Each structure stands twice: as C-alpha cells, then as structure tokens.
Amino acid sequence: MGNAQAGDSAVDGSDDEGGRARRRILRIRGDAREAADDFIAEEVPVEMTYNGVPFAVMMATPCDLEDLALGFSLSEGLVRHRGQLLAIAVAHRLEGIELAMTVSADAPASALPADAARLLPGRSGCGLCGARSLEDVLLPPSPLRDVRAFEATALQRALAALGDHQPLNATTGSTHAAAWADADGNIVLSREDVGRHNALDKLIGAMLRQGLAPDAGMLLISSRASYEMVSKAARAGIGFVAAVSAPTALAVDIARGAGLCLVGFAREHGYNVYAGAERLLG
C-alpha cells in the first residue's frame, strides 16, 4: 500500500500519558505495506546529583521521576531512610533531565567527594554500569527481619493480573514493570520503565511516598531476577520477590543470605521457588 518509507515524518514529544512518543513507521504484514503512527517507549539520560555533586547518569523513561530519585537513593544506599532526602528538583535540560537531590548531613550521599561521578553512564539494561570497583558491586544487603509468609493462591492471583498493570508496555512492547501486591494478591501499585532496575527503583520510591510497608506484600517483576534486583529489594526491606524470568545463581545466594523468598519463572499456574520456600504456603 503505497511507497511510504519509515522515518518519512515524525511527531516529536511525549504522548499525553507520558513515557511514550509517537513516531511514523512503515508497517509490513505479508505483502501489505502501510505508513502508520506507532507508540514507542521514551528513553532519555537522567542525571542524579546529590547536594550539587554528580553521581550517575541513567537511561530511563521520563515519568515518575520523583519516585525514581527516592527509590534509587534508597536502593543504592545513598540515603538510609526517606527523611534523609530533603528535596528533589526535576530540571529539564537540552541533553536530558537532571534530578537534583538535597540530602541531610547524616545521609551517606552527603559525603560524596567532588569526583564521585560514576565512571560510565548507566544504560537502561545494565545494573552495574558505572560501578567503580568490585567492592562496589558485591555489597550484600543486611538480613531481613520479621519476614512473613504468603498464600500461593495470592501469588497466583497477582501474577494473573500483572499484565493489566503494564499500560506502557501494552502500547509500546518495550518496557519492564515492577508491581506491588498485598497479602491477598491484589496489585495496588506498579511502575514501568525501559530499564528493569529503574522500574524497581520507581516502585520502591512510590511505596515509600505512599507509606506502604515493604514486608506486607509481594514484589512482582516482569524481568529476570539478577543479583542487583534482589539486592535492591532486600535493601528496601522487601521480603518476597517473584520474577517472570529466571534468577541468577548469585541472586539466589543473596536471597538466601538476606532471608528473602525468591520465586522465578513465575506464571499463574506454576513457578520455581529458589529461596525461602517455607514462606510460600499451600
């Protein structure tokens, strides 16, 4: 149908829902060709600064940025609790977005040296980009306290509903999700991003802002459970993680050391339990 070429025209900017952009494409289905508008997930550089000191640049979907700032700060150990993050300023620059954070004097981020910026930008699919040393990478989280058990039927209910809480992925097909379900398996909160780590950080930040107790429910992630996803969850006080894809061996070891229940290959009708099996009842 016609000879339109992909890229003939483009509509710049985000859709009203945020996090996605409209672009003109060439759609081919068998012998049929047609020009069409398509929704594509946005990905922009997001710089994290603490008290004026640059720390990292992440590639992220530009929505829920305050949640990202808070969740990233907590899961990376730059603040110990929400009260240490005093202010978040979102500044749109020509090159991207700056999240300028002000932290209290007792926050770990307040002691960053002027040259603390990570060596590399954090790419959307990378959880280690920018780490300075091996010591930065393998910092095990502290063991969790007062972890609770959940019914298998609640996990199954949450997994069945996960797709309904991924609106950005439904229109773009390229984002990950992190979702929070209560003890009955009802998903009460979710966040999406092109980066799985960013989606989790956004969810952690949103949970803190809404006052959700991290040990009172289950975390579901639409990605694999690599070691840093498990570490972020444990540092946030989350004791139950279910991943749609597989875990890594290091993630399993960290989950066991932290007392975290880790489920992989999670589907509505079946899954593998890699750590904390006694905390999944039924």
Q: Which two tokens stand for residue 154?
A: 């609640």
Q: How far apart are CA 73 and CA 48, in angstroms?
A: 9
DSSP H helices in 104-258: 134-137, 152-161, 167-172, 196-210, 227-235, 249-258
pLDDT exceeds 60 at position 51: yes
In this prediction, residues 160-176 reach a mean pLDDT of 95
pLDDT of residue 113: 85
Q: How far apart are CA 217 and CA 183, in angstroms?
A: 5
* 222 closest CA partner among 177, 188, 181, 192: 177
Domains 44-137 and 150-281 share a fold: no
Q: Which two tokens stand for residue 273?
A: 């339990």
Q: How far apart are CA 145 and CA 26, in angstroms?
A: 54
Q: How far apart are CA 44 and CA 60, in angstroms?
A: 6
Could you please report the per-residue DSSP string of 26-95?
EEEETTEEEEEEEEEE--EEEEEEETTEEEEEEEE-SSSHHHHHHHHHHHTTS-SSGGGEEEEEEEE-SS
In this prediction, residues 29-54 reach a mean pLDDT of 94
Could you list the active site residues?
A: 126
**Other CB atoms within 10 Å distance of the CB of residue 50:** 25
pLDDT exceeds 50 at position 223: yes
pLDDT of residue 5: 39
211 vs 104, 215, 227, CA distance in Å? 21, 12, 26
**Hey, where are the domains in the chain?**
10-41, 44-137, 150-281
Q: What is the pLDDT of residues 169-180, one digit of tens each?
A: 999 999 999 999
DSSP three-state, residue 14: strand
Domain 150-281 -> CATH class: alpha beta
Q: How far apart are CA 238 and CA 181, in angstroms?
A: 12
pLDDT exceeds 80 at position 12: no
pLDDT of residue 114: 77
pTM, to two decimals: 0.88
Task: pLDDT band for 141, please (50, 70, 90 cuts).
Answer: confident
Give the list of residues 6+ apart from residue 263 with CB closer than 8 angstroms, or none.
155, 240, 241, 242, 243, 271, 272, 273, 274, 280
Residue corresponding to tokens 């502290």: 142
Cβ atoms 219, 241 nearer than 8 A: yes
For CA atoms 132, 137, 138, 139, give the dihedral sign.
positive
Task: pLDDT band for 18, please (50, 70, 90 cuts).
Answer: confident
* 40 closest CA partner among 24, 52, 57: 24
Q: Quote the percentage of the chain above a pLDDT of 90.
A: 77
pLDDT exceeds 80 at position 122: no
Q: How far apart are CA 214 and CA 212, in angstroms?
A: 6
Question: Which three-class secondary structure string do you get for 224-270?
Answer: CECHHHHHHHHHCCCCEEEECCCECHHHHHHHHHHCCEEEEEEECCE
Range name among 78-92, 119-133, 140-154 with the lowest pLDDT average: 119-133
pLDDT of residue 117: 55
pLDDT of residue 13: 42
pLDDT of residue 9: 33
pLDDT exceeds 60 at position 243: yes
* 167 closest CA partner among 41, 13, 22, 44: 41
Task: pLDDT band for 16, please (50, 70, 90 cuts).
Answer: very low
44-137: CATH architecture: Roll (3.10)
